[in-house]
A and B are shown apart, each in its own frame.
Chain A
Amino acid sequence: MVARTLPVIDRDNEAYWTWGREGKLAIYRCAACEYFVHPPVPFCPRCESRDVAPQAVSGRGRVVTFTVNHKAWVPDLAAPYVLALVAIAEQDDVRIPCNIVECDPETVDFNMDVEVVFEPVEDLWVPLFRPVTA
């Protein structure tokens, strides 16, 4: 499979792309009102607190929407694969782009329960999701 294209790491996205080393999915959360802020910025749009920092979430979520890609956009790209938006279990408006892995692409469906897994790539741990089996 082709190498994943990685993000430039900055102060605000670092936890998201590195806490997978400890098996944790990091999402920014407001300490004052408990609202999850994503994409990460240390300001709460709900209560205006600046006390917003990364926190580990359960890693569970649901598939909001998905697509099965069939086109080989670049040489050696292994298709089909699933691109999805997953809403975290803790707060439905936090949506994470990801690939759904460890299953037949044709079995992915709307609202499917999924859980995070991480794939180490260079210095990062890329969050991916797989179906919850039990």
Chain B
Amino acid sequence: MTRFAEKNTAITGVGMSDVSRGADKSALALTVDAALEAIADAGLTRADIDGIATWPGERADGSGFSPVGCAALQDALRLEVGWYGGGGEAPGQYGAVFNAIGAIAAGLCRNVLIFRTMYEATARKTAYANSLLREGQRQAGPFSWYAPYYTYAAALQQALFFNLYVHKSGIRPDQVGQIAVNQRRNAALNPKAIYKAPITIDDYLASPLIATPLRLYDCDVPIDGAAAIIVSRMDVARTLKNPPIRIGAIGSSMRYRNSWTQLAELDTQAQPKVAEMMWSRTDLKPADVDIAQLYDGFSFHTINWLENFGFCELHGAKYFIDGGHRIALDGDLPVNTGGGAMSGGRLHAYGAVHEACTQLWGRAGARQVQGDPQVCATSTSGGPLAGAMLLVRD
């Protein structure tokens, strides 16, 4: 298994800006906050950073979806890097990490600053009602097939897949709702979370339907904020101040029709092949995983990842999450321990990596999972986009 390049890399520092429903500073300023915190956390200085990466790269369209790219941050921090990369044509948000692993393996860099910034809370108060469509403008590309049908948000596409999953699995709304309830319970213990007030299953069932069967409490929260991680070459990582968090295995795949309409299995999306690839690159098994930070753009994604990572049977999540005990902080597999994107804010899987490292370093305070967790499964995305990482404390 040592032949895989990710095994020669580790996360050595993490950082996160203030996360809010409307920031009092610019997106670039938030990004600088997260980046400087991550660099300092790793015990490095700006001069040590020789690579920089992000997903999906700068989209200067006012939507807040990705307002800051590599060039803006590199210049703000005056970094001298041997390699940089950003772009949306990658296996989900972790594509930036996978590219960095390749760059480190190629000898282009040793300490890569990877970040994700979102400014959607502010954007939605001003120009944008949603992130997919612009009024009066014709659409090109993959979303042009959906655009004429009042498909104003990813929520509608995911509701299509989620409805099929509910139809096939027979999961009940009160079971789905355990994802939201568990994450809100965890968020109450996370000072950076957006929503901390507890919710019950009854609250979940009373929350507005967005698009059947998707309810408001199934959705992540648009925010202003930035998260950053430092990925270092392993020999460098072992000289730094934190115990390295090894990238034990990655999963990225295009071994399916990469399409929002023609995916073979809409209800499992891209995830089975991504999970299969990740497990093929490690000797670890699902039973070895202590905690899981599973993508939760919508609660459906988290349910999907539980099944496709093999923590339970396909269509068996309804039993696994029923009652919410097994996924709780003191359960068999604590899930989305910081509140995830649904209660913590939409840092788009980088919040999940930040929380994974926080837990593996034993720094999670009141929400720290007991028993010294050492292995965390993390994942990104839904639809045809997906990526996974198994993180292991050295």
A residues apposed to B, CB below 8 Å: 2-8, 10, 13, 38-39, 64-71, 73-74, 77, 81, 83-85, 93-99, 110, 121, 126
Contacts and interface: CB of A to CB of B under 8 A. Distances in A.
A71 B211 contact: yes
A7 B142 CA distance: 10
Given A65-B163, A66-B163, A73-B129, A4 B145 contact: no
A83 B156 contact: yes
Nearest to A70: B209
- List 5 A-B pairs, minimum CB-CB distance, nearest first: A73-B152, A7-B144, A67-B159, A65-B164, A8-B140
Contacts of B164: 64-65, 110
Given A67-B211, A83-B150, 18 more contacts: A4-B150, A5-B135, A6-B138, A6-B147, A6-B148, A7-B140, A65-B164, A65-B167, A67-B156, A69-B210, A70-B208, A71-B210, A77-B150, A83-B159, A84-B160, A95-B261, A99-B149, A126-B148
B217 interface: no
B262 A66 contact: no
B309 interface: no
Interface residues of B, number: 40
B353 interface: no
Nearest to B152: A73
18 contacts: A3-B136, A5-B135, A5-B137, A6-B148, A7-B144, A10-B140, A39-B262, A64-B266, A65-B167, A67-B156, A67-B160, A67-B163, A67-B214, A69-B150, A69-B159, A70-B210, A74-B129, A93-B264
Nearest to B145: A97
Contacts of A64: 164, 266
Contacts of A6: 138-139, 147-148
Contacts of B212: 67-68, 70
Interface of B: 129-130, 133, 135-140, 144-153, 155-156, 159-164, 167, 208-214, 259, 261-262, 264, 266
Q: Is the interface of A mostly helix, strand, loop or mixed?
A: strand
A38 B164 CA distance: 21
B138 A81 contact: no
A39 B164 CA distance: 22
A7 B156 contact: no
Contacts of A93: 262, 264
A7 B148 contact: yes
Contacts of B135: 5, 74
Contacts of A70: 208-212
B144 A121 contact: no
Nearest to A39: B145
A132 to B, nearest CB: 20
B160 A85 contact: yes
B156 A69 contact: yes
A73 B139 contact: no
Instruction: Identify the interface centre among A6, A13, A70, A97: most chain B CB within 10 Å of its CB.
Output: A97
Contacts of B160: 65-67, 83-85
Contacts of A121: 148
Contacts of A38: 262
B261 A98 contact: no
A2 B150 contact: yes
A73 B146 CA distance: 15
Find the residue from B129, B139, B152, B211 having the highest chain A CB count within 10 A.
Answer: B211
Contacts of A68: 209, 211-212
Nearest to A111: B167
A71 B135 CA distance: 17
Nearest to B212: A68
A6 B134 CA distance: 11
A7 B150 contact: no
Contacts of A95: 261-262
